[in-house]
């Protein structure tokens, strides 16, 4: 929580001030499109203050947050011990393995989105092919990041609630 507050105060608020109210793409929960990546690139090329803040966010705190939140989700899942009954049937070991892979997938996707942002946004000088690739892949990674995060949190809550209920005979 402290890491998220620090990122918000030190990077997001100054970015909004330097970018006339815009948010960094990686924080847009509603998602973004390829055109948004290209628009942000053009904007950051003409606004060096916003570009420096974006680069500072991407090269440190965003990666640390992805790894820390992945570890937290994984440890919380381990704490609530997923298992038991799901829709009237016992969860097989492969299902439990799949549940534990969700936080790891979230971390990989979040880091991938951040690494692409580092390679595309200033001070980087991407080639046209790299830019075209990033403009297509970054929106997909952004949506997948929030999808895996939400699903992992919902499952975590589900197992936390059900692990506290007494079993019925």
Cα(92)–Cα(56) distance, rounded to whole angstroms? Answer: 44
Predicted TM-score (pTM) above 0.85: yes
**pLDDT tens column, 83-95:** 666 677 788 888 8
115 secondary structure, DSSP code? H
User: Hey, which bits of 54-102 come out as E strands?
Assistant: 85-86, 89-90
Model confidence at 5, pLDDT cuts 50, 70, 90, reads very high
**pLDDT tens column, 26-59:** 999 899 999 999 999 999 999 999 999 999 999 9
Model confidence at 164, pLDDT cuts 50, 70, 90, reads low
Scanning 8-164, the segments in alpha helix (DSSP H) are 13-18, 34-46, 48-58, 61-80, 93-120, 128-163
**pLDDT tens column, 102-122:** 999 999 999 999 999 999 999
Contacts of 47 (CB under 8 A, 6+ apart): 18, 19
């Amino acid at each position: 929580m402290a890491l998220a507050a620090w990122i918000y105060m030190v990077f997001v608020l100054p970015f909004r001030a330097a970018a006339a109210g815009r948010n960094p793409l990686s924080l847009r929960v509603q998602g973004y499109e390829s055109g948004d990546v290209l628009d942000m690139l053009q904007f950051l090329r003409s606004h060096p203050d916003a570009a420096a803040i974006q680069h500072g966010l991407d090269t440190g705190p965003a990666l640390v947050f992805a790894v820390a939140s992945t570890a937290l989700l994984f440890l919380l899942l381990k704490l609530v011990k997923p298992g038991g009954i799901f829709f009237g049937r016992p969860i097989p070991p492969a299902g439990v393995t799949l549940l534990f892979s969700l936080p790891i997938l979230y971390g990989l996707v979040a880091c991938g989105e951040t690494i692409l942002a580092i390679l595309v946004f200033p001070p980087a000088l991407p080639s046209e092919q790299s830019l075209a690739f990033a403009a297509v892949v970054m929106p997909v990674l952004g949506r997948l990041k929030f999808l895996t995060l939400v699903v992992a949190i919902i499952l975590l809550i589900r197992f936390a609630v059900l692990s506290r209920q007494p079993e019925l005979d």
